[in-house]
Structure 1
Amino acid sequence: MSAALLATVAGLALLDALNPATIAGVALLLLAPMAHPVRAAAGFVTGAYLTVLALGAVVYAGADTAAEAAGNGLVWVRRIAFTIAAVALAVAGLRRLRDRIRPAVTVPRWVTPLTAGLLGLVMTGADLPNAFPYVIAIERIVGADIGTGRSLAVIAGYALVYCLPCLLLLVAGAARGDRVRRRLGRLYERLGAEKKQPRSVPLAAGYLAAAGAVLTVAVLA
């Protein structure tokens, strides 16, 4: 297992870790009016970690099989990942071409410290199709041919780095709960509360341009 491979995977994991869905999930749970918000947030992070780990193992197995069946199997895995990301950016851009009310982000009623792991699974799983750095990392792992055991260990490390911002927020919430919740509350008012989003052609153009660039990468990959 080379240092270059580990550095590449770690860099991709850090890029993927800047994931608004999972970070927002932890923040919402720390703000939620429940008896044990820190425990709920810990359950959420656990669910997110297990989701990334399990899906990574599945993608690795499929990519490894594709690499054995056809020399360009991994290329198609990468192309699919970038295409999905391009479609997501294009949809976001088209939505900015009209006025809309952004609904408030809230914690579902069924979420408790015992069921928060399921919320972590749902939110992380729903966002993973956009996590094309993860697919690229798995492609590198498969290409390195380091064996199944070591590959899964690297994927487990990737999942840990992916959850790192959530873990840091969780630790801060546990250590300085009231102070962290006050700051998160102000941030929620700006980013999570119901808000009217006016039509923005420049933002839409930016999203669509990014979608075109990502799609070009997918075609040329």
Structure 2
Amino acid sequence: MLTVSLMWAIAGLAALDSLNPATIAGVTLILLAPMRRPGVTALAYVMGAGVIVWTVGAGLLVGSAQVGEAVAGASTWVRRGALLLAAVILTISAVRRLSPRTRAAVVLPTWFGPWTAAPLGVLVTAADLPNAFPYLLAIERLSAAAVPTGAGLAVLAGYSLVYCLPCLLLLAAGSVWRDRITSRLQRVYLRFGGERVQPRSVRASVGLLVLATVVTVLAFAL
């Protein structure tokens, strides 16, 4: 059942998920690049990201509902699988934080343009979805609440919009005040998409492990 509290929870997860470094860096890099129609290109990139977020989520939601109807108790294991996958992702992230690593810079390929922006947005976002813990948790919550398929798909459409909102705001600001905020855009790119050495952090690793443990417990408690 779709409740107000569930919708607020999904909205919060979407807001957390919207701070996606790859998507934000992609939009920033497009606005900084010396190309024709950067605004149109960036919009196509964001639309590609939004479409794949909704499409994958819809597939997981509808698939879990159909499996649950076909096999008694299967939907419970689908929900547990989503949470356990999220726990595994958190554990891998925790292990990675125990050693320093260099994050490669996000760069535009030579063939990039208005017609290829949407497919690249799809590819970049799809590659990052398995690491999207809030996204998996949101789908699990919709499935656990037995939300009707139509309402669930509508909620996922709203999730996709919230996911793209920071990029759309950045696109609007960059298109209107591009000359004025070029230096700020450059800082945004360096923060989210530039090459960066991530230092070792035991505190962050412990925090991620604790969160992974909580998610694992929830997987079998629900």
Same topology, TM > 0.5: yes
Whole-angstrom distance in 1 between the partners of 2:68 and 2:106: 41
Gaps of 5+ in 1: none
Following superposition, the deviation at residue 191 of structure 1 comes to 4.5
TM-score, normalised with respect to structure 2: 0.82
Whole-angstrom distance in 2 between the partners of 1:194 and 1:149: 42
Aligned identity (percent) is 50
Task: Provide the residue aligned with 1:67 in structure 2.
Answer: 68
Following superposition, the deviation at residue 96 of structure 1 comes to 3.4
Change (3 A) 1:92 1:143: closer
Whole-angstrom distance in 1 between the partners of 2:147 and 2:203: 46
Gaps of 5+ in 2: none
Q: Counterpart amino acid of 1:94? A: V
**Is 1:125 paired with 2:126?**
yes
TM-score, normalised with respect to structure 1: 0.83
Written as runs of structure 1 = structure 2, the 5 A alignment for 1:102-121 is 102-121=103-122
Change (3 A) 1:10 1:171: same
Change (3 A) 1:43 1:147: same
Q: Counterpart amino acid of 2:40? A: R
Partner SS, residue 193 of structure 1? coil
Task: Provide the residue aligned with 2:47 in structure 1.
Answer: 46
Task: Provide the residue aligned with 2:156 in structure 1.
Answer: 155
Following superposition, the deviation at residue 124 of structure 1 comes to 1.2
Task: Provide the residue aligned with 1:98 in structure 2.
Answer: 99
Task: Say what the alpha-carbon RMSD is for the aligned residues.
Answer: 2.7
Stretch deviating more after TM superposition (100-109 or 139-148): 139-148
Change (3 A) 1:2 1:32: same
Following superposition, the deviation at residue 47 of structure 1 comes to 0.2
Task: Provide the residue aligned with 1:172 in structure 2.
Answer: 173
Contact map agreement 2:83 2:140 (CA 8 A) in 1: no
Contact map agreement 1:81 1:130 (CA 8 A) in 2: no
Change (3 A) 1:27 1:79: farther
What do the CA deviations read for 1:166-198 (whole angstroms, capped 9, x no partner)? 111111111111233310212333443334444
Following superposition, the deviation at residue 68 of structure 1 comes to 1.3
Contact map agreement 2:48 2:119 (CA 8 A) in 1: yes
